[in-house]
Chains A and B, each alone.
Chain A
Amino acid sequence: MKQAHISRRGFLKVASAAGLVIGFDFPARAAQTQSAAFTPNAFLKIDDKGVVTLQLPKSEMGQGTYTAIVMMVAEELEVSPKDIVVEIPDASGKKFAPVSQSTGGSDAVRTTWEPMRTAGAVARSMLIDAAAQDWKVDASTLHAEDGKVIHDASGKSAAYGSLVGAAAKLKAPEKVNLKDPSKFKIIGKPTLRLDAAGKVNGSTVYGIDVRFDGLKIASLAQSPVIGGKVKDLNEAAALKIEGVVKVVNLGDAVAVVADDMWTAKQGLAALNVTWDEGENAKLSQADIVNQLLAAGEKEGAVAGETGKVADVMGKPGAKIISATYQQPFLAHAPMEPSNCTAHVTADRCEIWVGTQDPGETRARAAAGSGLPPASVTVHNYLVGGGFGRRLEGDMAERAAQISKAAGMPVKVVWSREEDIQHDLYRPYYYDKISAAVDESGKPVAWSHRIVGSSIMARLYPKGFKGVDEDAVDGAVSTPYDIPNTRVEYVRQDSPVITSWWRGVGPLRSIFVVESFIDELAAAAKIDPVAYRLSLIKDARAKAVLQKAAEMSDWGNPVQGLHRGIALLNAWDTYLAEVVELELKNGTPIVKRVVAVVDCGQVVNPSGVEAQLMGGVIFGLTAGLFSEITINNGRVQQSNFHDYRMIRMDNCPKIETYIMPSNEKPGGMGEPPCAGLMPALANAMFAATGRRIRKLPVLSSVTT
């Protein structure tokens, strides 16, 4: 049995007439146990009717966190997940520390696994102690089950609601026992999503659905050229339209505030805005790519080094294999377009938005409103797709600016065109990689240089020391045992602002590593699965690879079908994917994908399966179709007709397998997306004998 230790200083218990309210402070890492500050990470409330209310410390954007976190609490609290009422808290600063309210990097289950189970266990323990006192028996003779404390010998029981008054007067336990996995009744069992009912009857309120008396709606036009400014507009023409309330000129953007979205859009069109295009008026995709290629000729900052790469590669007669790869700018295109509702007054700023990062939203709303962060309230909602886009606070800054200028509460809704053309894009990456191979074709030295704009340097300039630790993630540490390695990073920014995109650093790194390993296997004339297995020591990595090979019938080729495989170990998760495709007039039709994951202890198998399928489809969209390109300083794509998506009719059959495991949970939001693209590119090589070294695949095969 596992024990969670609780710092007394870090534990809050508040007695109230309403029941037992408990806050928890459980350090995520041992190093933080010295923290003297009281910073509870989540609030669990049980009222005198026995109703359990949980403040969800992470954002639910479709990935299933809402259900998984409730399952963890319910397991230890001994209640049904269905009986827990979930509330989505406002932005709370450090209230939930050490759990961050920011949701990204596939960390929601990983970082709440200990704290949320401990939260449930502490509450359970105190309720048992309350019953023990009341019944004058030893607590060890009692157990909790189905929302009740039960005396084992007599069968006497008390519902939680009847115990909360007494429990609230007790001292918090110094330590609680967490269940052994063999005792799990909820964790690990397929559980239907708890947030689904409102999503099938239209009652779920997303940020874009916020409505209240006096709220106006704004349509937005930002400079079509990166960095451009408003030159001229016809305000009077817009104000003539019935229902148009205000025109707001922010210098680099204009907004029309109206009674409804359609009227706002008509107002925006009537403004007939002209733009001073500024210094990026002639910026082209070729300019950006050429700068990256040139930067790739420079030595980079060393991100990781083992052995002596230069010596091995410099040996006379060394056999060197080299390749370069390019990955495009990508937009996020969540189905809920960017939007934010703001009400700025002289001394308050109130924000309503579905966000992955309430804290960042508050900071940017403060900037937009000119008020201190303490004067900003951020109400968060269920999110209609995040994928990293909603880790940024630009929507809140814009909405705050517009509400302040208009002097009224305003819901700002980005058109899809604005959403795609004013995204913060996944960086364009250029990778140079080479290996020295021995006589058997195995790599003995590995040199990898990564070139791209730095998200980390943009967001955390003070901490940037030359290596973007995100961009090199998945490149410095790979599943392969290679004695001499060197990974370098070269920062090369462009006017295109870049940010997090589902899969972040490992997504880009794994495409390169898994493509290049496949190239080495082909050069060695060894089967790609056998080649990888010969370089892997980690049993979990081997196991997922072998299982994926088995499920895809790897050893038995089928005429006309071509397979590619990829392996990854990132976000504490191991995953292998096989893509099977056929060619029709040279164009790939993906027929089947096999995805095998070992993500440690699974909380909700149904949720993990959903992430596997969803990540495969997200990765397939990007790998086949997606690229944002720049011409004359403008993003050329604008909507789903030219930023294509996988749809029902081109969605392959997806077969999944989840390895049984009691290892600590790994992330699931991003790995399936990251493994898909190299598996797809490797399948294209199997089909054509030609490497895909530039994504997306359809651009590569048609140019």
Chain B
Amino acid sequence: MATRETYQLQINGEQHSVRATPDTPLLWVLRDMVGLTGTKFGCGIAQCGACTVHVDNEVRRSCVTPVGSIGSKPITTIEGVSQTEVGRFVQDQWLKTDVVQCGYCQSGQILAALALVKSKADITDADIDTHLSGNVCRCGTYPRIRAAIHSISQGLKGKTA
């Protein structure tokens, strides 16, 4: 049986110490131990993207990311998105496009979109299909998510993200 160990996690620029077994998914560390509940549980098997976070600036499904695999890599959750200018811009466009409905999947959608808009300029519909199809929205906000990402991509032109 796995025994608990102590981990020093870098989350949204702050250090958090937690005791967990190495196989504990980051999702439950964030939600139940650190108390950052903006990262959502949706499926537990990396099929819906509700739990999406960034680890070392890359998209990760936290429900299948063992805490023991993270080490000192920085973690960004939805609560940390507003710490960067591009993050705030994504959030602003999300609001201006009136994207959200129930909102439960939107933390994951925003982190998936943020990684995409940081990765390249001139985002196409095909890019959005590729990078956002792992994030299920049951309310059906996909058309507005698509519109928001295009407006972000346009808006970021000329800005140094």
Contacts and interface: CB of A to CB of B under 8 A. Distances in A.
Q: A and B: real partners? A: yes
Interface of A: 61-64, 190, 192-193, 195-206, 208-209, 211, 217, 240-243, 259-263, 266, 333-337, 382-387, 413, 415-417, 606, 610, 613-618, 639-641, 645-649, 651, 653-654
Nearest to A617: B140
Interface in B39-70: 39-45, 47-48, 50
A192 B98 contact: yes
B35 A610 contact: no
A416 B129 CA distance: 25
Contacts of B41: 208, 261, 337, 413
A240 B136 contact: no
Given A61-B102, A62-B103, A648-B145, A639 B4 contact: no
Given A208-B40, A641-B47, 15 more contacts: A192-B96, A202-B78, A203-B79, A208-B37, A240-B1, A259-B32, A262-B24, A262-B32, A333-B138, A334-B138, A335-B50, A336-B102, A416-B42, A613-B140, A647-B142
Closest 10 CB pairs of A and B: A202-B38, A62-B102, A199-B103, A617-B140, A384-B104, A614-B140, A62-B101, A202-B78, A260-B32, A209-B37
A385 B102 contact: yes
Given A196-B100, A199-B106, A416 B44 contact: yes
A507 to B, nearest CB: 16
A498 B146 CA distance: 35
Contacts of A190: 98
Interface in B1-21: 1, 3-4, 20-21
A240 B1 CA distance: 10
A642 to B, nearest CB: 10
Contact of A200 (B28, B39, B91, B132): B91
Given A260-B32, A614-B139, A383 B102 contact: yes
A645 B138 contact: yes
A613 B144 CA distance: 9
B153 interface: no
Nearest to A215: B32
Given A199-B103, A242-B3, A654-B143, A639 B45 contact: yes
Interface in B68-124: 77-79, 81-82, 91, 94-96, 98-107, 110
23 contacts: A62-B102, A62-B103, A192-B98, A193-B98, A200-B94, A201-B79, A201-B82, A208-B41, A209-B37, A242-B3, A261-B28, A335-B48, A384-B103, A384-B104, A610-B144, A613-B142, A613-B143, A617-B140, A618-B139, A639-B43, A641-B47, A646-B142, A651-B140
Contact of B95 (A197, A261, A266, A382): A197
Nearest to A261: B28
Interface in B128-161: 128-130, 132-146
Given A200-B91, A639-B47, A63 B101 contact: yes
Interface residues of B, number: 63
Nearest to B126: A649
Contacts of A335: 40, 42, 48, 50, 102, 104-105, 136-139
Contacts of B94: 196, 200
A416 B44 CA distance: 7
B136 A647 contact: yes
A613 B137 CA distance: 12
Given A261-B31, A385-B138, A640-B48, A206 B104 contact: yes
A522 B153 CA distance: 47
Contacts of B143: 613, 651, 653-654
B140 A618 contact: yes
Contact of A385 (B21, B38, B91, B104): B104
A353 to B, nearest CB: 14
A217 B130 CA distance: 36
Contact of B1 (A206, A241, A617): A241
B47 A616 contact: no
Contacts of A614: 101, 139-141
Contact of B139 (A62, A202, A240, A606): A62
B29 to A, nearest CB: 8
Given A334-B138, A648-B129, A610 B98 contact: yes
Contacts of A651: 140, 142-143
Nearest to A620: B140
Nearest to B38: A202
B39 A202 contact: yes
A606 B98 CA distance: 8
B104 A202 contact: no
Contacts of B21: 262, 266
Given A192-B95, A385-B102, A640 B140 contact: no
Contacts of A647: 132-136, 142
Interface-centre pick from A61, A192, A262 (highest chain B CB count, 10 A)? A262
Interface-centre pick from A198, A260, A646 (highest chain B CB count, 10 A)? A260
Contacts of A653: 143
A160 B116 CA distance: 47
Contacts of B1: 240-241
B100 A201 contact: no
A203 B24 CA distance: 24
B8 to A, nearest CB: 18
